[in-house]
Amino acid sequence: MNTQHDPKAPGDESGAGGNGADSAAPAPTAAASAATPSDTARLDAAAEGETRPNQIGDPAVLDGTRRWLERAVIGLNLCPFAKAVYVRNQVRIVVSEAPNAEVWFAEAEREMELLAETSADIIDTTLLVHPKLLRDFMDFNEFVGIVEERLEELELDGVLQVASFHPRFQFDGTAPDEIGNYTNRSPWPTLHLIREASIDRAVESMPDTDEIWKRNVATMEALGYDGWNALWNDDPEGAH
């Protein structure tokens, strides 16, 4: 599901800090239609009546995460590979209740091992969501780096990758309010564990994968702030 390039690095003084969502967004320069109602309806219909054994935790946070996936990641085609595994219920979503980052780190370690040991037919990719911890993006970005180091220590580099989404996500070299940052903005801090094999298959099926993030930024620029906010009119959390 990940199509991002490097986020703003901890300690990087270029641009403003990671809490960009607190600033007022400039007026949109263009408008575009977001995900159509039929897209979401089709996704809902695909999952209707089916259990979701891979989705664990607070139902409200699970619902919000699914809405973000359906309306933004899939609905705006920010990740062309997400829909297939999502409708097959191969996306594991785990909402953490860890009281601190240390416990969440231990949970992330267990989930990395579980994903590596489990058939992709059961779990293709994993999202680890925490609705309360690391709301500051710079703190979260540092945490992601520590998780990546642990992945290497477990000798899972080359098997898995770690990507990230955050309510105040900021790419390196961008201003906090730039609309392109919204490609990786999620309702809550989210770690994304991805199989390298899935990435390899995606590259084979879509040779221009390196251009995806550029197209995503163009999509967001066309959508504008009003269009993005309209995706969440019925959602108090949204993905702001």
Give the model confidence (pLDDT) of 156-200 as tens digits: 999 999 999 999 999 999 999 899 999 999 999 999 999 999 888
Which residue ranges make up each domain of the chain? 51-230
Give the model confidence (pLDDT) of 5-61 as tens digits: 455 543 333 333 333 333 333 332 333 333 334 434 434 444 443 445 689 999 999
Please compute the mean of the pLDDT values over residues 141-149 and round it to a whole number.
97
Assess contact for 95 and 61: CB atoms under 8 A: yes
Segments of the chain assigned E as strands: 55-56, 91-95, 125-129, 160-165, 190-195
**Separation CA 33–CA 232 (nearest Å):** 13
**Separation CA 111–CA 125 (nearest Å):** 10
Q: Which of 126, 196, 118 is nearest to 161 (CA)?
A: 196
Q: Structure pTM?
A: 0.78
Q: How far is CA 46 from each of CA 83, 85, 88, 102, rounded to the nearest angstrom? A: 11, 12, 8, 37
Looking from the CA of 105 toward its CB, the CA atoms found within 13 Å total: 15
